[in-house]
Structure 1
Amino acid sequence: MKTAYSEQTGKEMYQNLGKLFYAVAMADRAVHISELEKLKSAVRENWLEVDDIEDDYGTDAAFQIEIVFDWLLEYEKSSKESYEEFKTFYKDHQRAFSPKMKQLITRTAHSIAASFAGKNKSELIILAKLDLLLKSDEQDL
């Protein structure tokens, strides 16, 4: 499948999506098992089909989403720091994010946030920031 980004950018994109989805799950300072399960099912059901990029081991690069999420969880990184890292990557690579990909990002983030007792205030705030970020380039480009 033809993509608007290089293989290296694709790998970095998936790693940064792991940071974003971690930031959403960790917005309330706790990652619940249902949020982790929702992430894993979203990767398998949606993200594996996005492109044909593989990591250095021949595995679909979309699994980098889970790997980075798990690493951040293990090292208890903050939601804010993880979100800011995604934001920086996004701003540096806006053209790599197609409208379809932005919809998938939004859908995945919302499903993670809603997976444990609905969306709380902290999650709503980060989802609103994400929505503004993903729409910001539409005026800038």
Structure 2
Amino acid sequence: MLNSEKIGNEFYQNLGKLFYAVAMADKQVRPVEVKRLRKYVRQYWLEIDDFEDEFSTDSAYQIEIVFDWLEEEEKNGEDYFKDFEAFYKEHPEKFKPEIKSLIINTAEAIASSFAGKNKSELLLIFKLKLLFKE
């Protein structure tokens, strides 16, 4: 696997961590949040690039795979936000303005999919926006 493909896969894996952190911000991932995530992956994220994983599937599906795996772990999402933050700081070149915008839109869509955004979700999205302004 080429280094750029490896980083491409890590990019999507870290997005899975971020979106899980958003869904888990209120301590519970709801089915409607998972459904919204899957919709955004298929509608927007598959079109971003041509990276494929080791099984020759679009790397964007790594978002869903990691999200599902983390959901089985049932851990606090804050640690996964920190993982995403570390990846972002290590690879800022992967985050063009249109990608940042899509990340924020996806996070907001997940957060608002169940009874609107609550305080913990709003706080996490605010932290994400601050991170992108650094």
TM-score (structure 2 length as normaliser): 0.97
1:1-141 alignment, distance < 5 Å? 6-136=4-134
**C-alpha distance after superposition, 1:77-135 (max 9, x if no partner):** 21111100000000100111111100000000000000000000000000000000011
Distance 2:48 2:22 in 1: 21
Runs of 4+ in 1 over 2 A off after TM superposition: none
Equivalent pairs, count = 132
Aligned-pair Cα RMSD in Å:
0.9
**C-alpha distance after superposition, 1:35-63 (max 9, x if no partner):** 00000000000000000000000000000
- Whichever residue aligns with residue 98 of structure 1, its letter is K
Distance 1:77 1:6 in 2: 30
Structure 1: segments with no counterpart, 5+ residues: 137-141
Distance 1:76 1:36 in 2: 14
Using the aligned pairs only, state the percent identity.
Answer: 57
Distance 1:35 1:128 in 2: 19
Distance 2:94 2:106 in 1: 18
Distance 2:130 2:31 in 1: 28
